[in-house]
Amino acid sequence: MKGDILAAIENKTANVVVLGLGYVGLPVACLFAEAGFPVVGIRRSQDKVELVNRGICPIEGKEPGLADLLARVVSEGQFRATVDYEVCREAQAVLIAVETPVDPVTKKPDYQALRGALTNLGNNLSPGTMVIVESTIAPGTMERVVKPILEETSGLRANEDFYLVNCPERVMPGKLLRNIRECARVVGGMTPEAAQLAVALYRHVVQADLDPADCLTAELVKTMENAYRDVQIAFANEMALLCENMGADVWQVRELVNKSPYRAMHLPGAGVGGHCIPKDPWLLIANASDGFEPRLTHAARAINDGMPLHMVNLTIEALQEVGVGVADAKVGVLGYAYQENSDDARNSPSEVLVARLRELGAEVVIHDPWVPEYRGSLEERVPGCDVIVVMVAHDVYRAVDLSELRVQVARPILVDGRHVFSTEQARAAGWDYRGVGQG
């Protein structure tokens, strides 16, 4: 089994299939195609398949190099997309990059997309294929979910008839191609042989370390690194609340804290969004057995989930000071993506803020230069607003002339959740300014 696939990987004749062409699957598919492999991507929506086959990039945020690379590898016939899983029959390597959210209530993994992809793949799996899960999954999932479904649907045996690998992605919007090329990767094989084969494959696109390990280690590393980031952000957010409480400026404090050795206090802000940090801590602890008590993981989630609601409170306080009830207010929200300069609005903190403000009776208008639903000019959105709430640090907002904006709104009240502006700058332009972490 090994001889054939290794040779095909080394001479780049291995057929690579990527299941899921989103922020994870599309860039990695393009990079393997650029490296010379024949690549087919599978996506459920026929529209997006047609877009890709016309060489048009469905990801709209600022993604340096991705649109050009996609257009090139499609025009060179190195990469195409389809909805048809039968292409897996000819594949030597299949990468799985589908969404793995958690249930919003139970916080347990929701593997609907993963199970669907595994079942479709299993029905089209050929002996000798290497299956690599790039999606972030709860520790234990390769053994408990991935292996059984593939064995049941294919009638083949893992580690004997096909290889299983967990090589978690480390992509970030705005740096999709760069992160794949330059970030080290953990390559978790269900057998050492599988790990070595995957290292041989990724060596063609990853210029950084490829660290072989077992599947459980890879699953733990990925979910833990994101839970670690969540805890670091939660600390920064709690310190912001403390600075507000004591009348200090968290940004000044943070700057000076980070001057002491080995400190790297993260950025406090309006909340933690995206498909990764808000859910990966729940994946991390999902399969822990009785006797393990995840106190810090829970606390961090609670603090970070609370920040958009804290932004609501700051907004209500600012309005009250000018005698306006939230139910009578028109609120202008700047930013709906979860990250600056991205069109990705998954688990966006703005969604929580907007829902709560509307629940309280406020009229809410939303602007975002990248999220298609909320595009358009700022000048069209903000007239008549009693308060402007900044939720995302898009470059476009950093460039806003606050004096010009001032004349368009009904009341010059600015609540800044991302330190886009400084107190001095805002006050000099005649705004009543309040920012997260600034008491």
Strand locations in 254-350 (E)? 330-334
Q: How far is the CB of 389 from ligand SAJ (least distance, A)?
A: 15
**Cβ of residue 205: shortest distance to ligand SAJ, in angstroms?**
16
User: Would you say 124 or 136 has its CB closer to ligand SAJ?
Assistant: 136
Q: From the candidates 222, 243, 279, 385, which is the catalytic residue? A: 222
| Nearest distance, CB of residue 173 and ligand SAJ, angstroms | 5
Does the annotation count 276 as an active-site position? yes
Strands 163-166 vs 185-189: parallel, antiparallel or unpaired: antiparallel
Cα–Cα distance, 307 to 285 (Å, whole number): 23
Given the complex with ligand SAJ, which of 85 and 370 has the nearer CB atom? 370
List Cβ neighbours of 8 (8 Å cut-off, separation of 6 or more): 14, 92
Which stretches of the chain bind ligand SAJ, using CB under 6 A?
136, 169-173, 225-226, 229, 233, 266-267, 269, 272-274, 276-277, 338-339
**Integer Cα distance of 390 and 408 in angstroms:** 16
Closest approach, Cβ 308 to ligand SAJ, in A, equals: 10
- Residue reference for tokens 């995206």: 274
Q: Write out the two tokens for 392.
A: 């995302």
Identify which of residues 196 and 226 has a Cβ nearer to ligand SAJ in the complex: 226
CB of 1 to ligand SAJ, least distance (A): 32
User: What is the rounded CA–CA span in Å between residue 282 and residue 141?
Assistant: 13
Nearer to ligand SAJ, 265 or 429 (CB): 265
| Cβ neighbour number for residue 389 with a 10 Å cutoff | 28
Q: Which of 35, 25, 49, 439 lies closest to 252 in space, CA to CA?
A: 439
- Catalytic residue (choose from 215, 276, 330, 385): 276
Nearest-approach distance from CB 248 to ligand SAJ, in angstroms: 19
62 belongs to the catalytic site: no
Q: What is the DSSP string of 371-425?
A: SGGG-S-HHHH-TT-SEEEE----HHHHT--HHHHHTTSSS-EEEESS--S-HHH
Cα gap 138→284, rounded to integer Å: 5
Q: Which distant-in-sequence residues (6+ apart) come within 8 Å of 228 by Cβ?
A: none
By beta-carbon proximity to ligand SAJ, the closer residue of 41 and 61 is 61
> What separation, in Å, do the N-terminal and C-terminal C-alpha atoms of the chain show?
65
* Residue placing its CB nearer to ligand SAJ in the complex, 110 or 225: 225
The residues annotated with a catalytic role in the active site are 222, 276
